[in-house]
Chains A and B, each alone.
Chain A
């Protein structure tokens, strides 16, 4: 006669609940805490609308990878892949069946879970590059072309990247880790994920969460510093309309930038190449179908895969430590200093042009297209309702995207 009690007992032991409540002596509590954090992130995404398109996926990926026994994401596989150490394949009873000396993507497809397979796209830099392609197809570089000096504001606003890098080294992070933390200041999610997956994939979860959370908080983070660093009169400055840019210029620009930046810093070629390829498809007027795919279906598909894969890296062991708190703190410092850098650049330009440039457009140099430009416009209109800074702020805003890609390229060439 079958032993019903034993069957039920086995069922319980194999269930995730048993692992979850294995007692606070094991790792069960970490999974539980991470599931709660995942739910909190879902709340922020759905109710508070914090970058919901990405945060929803990140939060759900976090919940999925912390379900004990589901095996959707295996940190051990990726540790072996990154460190080049052997991976031990174990059987149901925990016995070692096979030792893989060097893990390759094919092994991950064979032995990994669903989220491991998703994560291959992050580790190979495929998703961040495809996202950049979509961003390029959605970006109008016209304001930048009509006012090329705004590129300087895009450069000035990378101050936070390097200040946070320095701060992270002071806090004891290794060089590659500090570089990955610093790039949060670029306010550019795909660039942060691209660089971190190359240099410090163990920090990918906290860095992605910090980057996207702070990007969503830009309307709260930036205005106090914009008011602190500028005078009322400066905020009221009306900027003159810039020249019209021809279609040919817009077509030549992406080709020119790709060749120029990739020659200057070859490590930026994947990001800048994809960004500018997407932009070229938009501007040609002959490839509308491709541009439409990049902007919508491709972008949406990759966003789903990227966000869940990044969320999957938020395992208890990776996330629940002092490092995460440091990253969250350094992230906000990076954002603030990037805003300050851009504003200081704006103030210098205001002085040099004898009040023709509104310094508020400087804060838009922190990528985060188009949110940061909108903030410049909103703050400007508060002091002069007939002042429309949006198009002027879009120049530094898209310059910030190129600036953060160059910063990432520099850090990758040093630490990669």
Chain B
């Protein structure tokens, strides 16, 4: 039995891809790079469209909720701040405990006492 001849003979197409010429390699390289761009640009368009849909939805929801929230805002008087306080700070999706820890870390990193810094808001970035 001839052990070597059992291997399937390579076809012409396979040979062309195995032994690529410089020109073919250049074309394939450019084509490949273009395909990656094409795929990701299409994906970008889809993601932008998805984002636009959700942004419009969020805007609609915010608009619907606005009159309900606006009414008490006019009536409510601002709560008095403690003596020596730098004013109010807004927290978005952040627990007061976490906010206190963040302020302490920032003060420590900046090497300044906490009462000399003013924090406007702390927001959790998802």
Contact = CB atoms under 8 A, between A and B. Distances in A.
29 contacts: A86-B3, A86-B6, A99-B3, A144-B47, A145-B47, A145-B50, A148-B47, A151-B41, A151-B44, A156-B37, A163-B29, A165-B25, A169-B20, A169-B25, A174-B19, A175-B25, A243-B51, A244-B125, A245-B51, A246-B58, A256-B46, A261-B43, A265-B35, A402-B43, A406-B36, A406-B40, A407-B32, A407-B36, A410-B35
A407 B48 CA distance: 22
A63 interface: no
Interface residues of B, number: 38
A204 interface: no
A257 B42 CA distance: 11
A85 interface: yes
B35 A406 contact: yes
Given A158-B33, A165-B32, A407-B32, A245 B20 contact: no
Contacts of B44: 148-149, 151-152
Contacts of B8: 84
A243 B123 CA distance: 12
Given A84-B8, A159-B33, A249-B50, A414 B28 contact: yes
Given A152-B41, A249-B51, A253-B50, A166 B125 contact: no
B47 A162 contact: no
B73 interface: no
Given A169-B25, A257-B43, 17 more contacts: A85-B4, A85-B7, A144-B47, A148-B48, A151-B44, A152-B44, A158-B33, A162-B30, A165-B25, A165-B29, A169-B22, A175-B25, A245-B51, A260-B42, A407-B32, A410-B36, A411-B32
A162 B36 CA distance: 10
B54 interface: yes
Q: Could you tell me the dominant secondary structure of chain B's interface residues?
A: helix
A403 interface: yes
Interface of B: 1, 3-4, 6-8, 17-20, 22, 25-26, 28-33, 35-37, 39-44, 46-48, 50-51, 54-55, 58, 125-126
A151 B32 contact: no
Interface string A361-405: 000000000000000000000000000000100000001001100
Which of B26, B36, B43 has the largest number of chain A CB atoms within 10 A? Answer: B36
Interface residues of A, number: 56
A161 B31 CA distance: 12
A408 to B, nearest CB: 10
Given A151-B44, A415-B17, A406 B39 contact: yes
A174 B50 contact: no
B42 to A, nearest CB: 7
B7 A260 contact: no
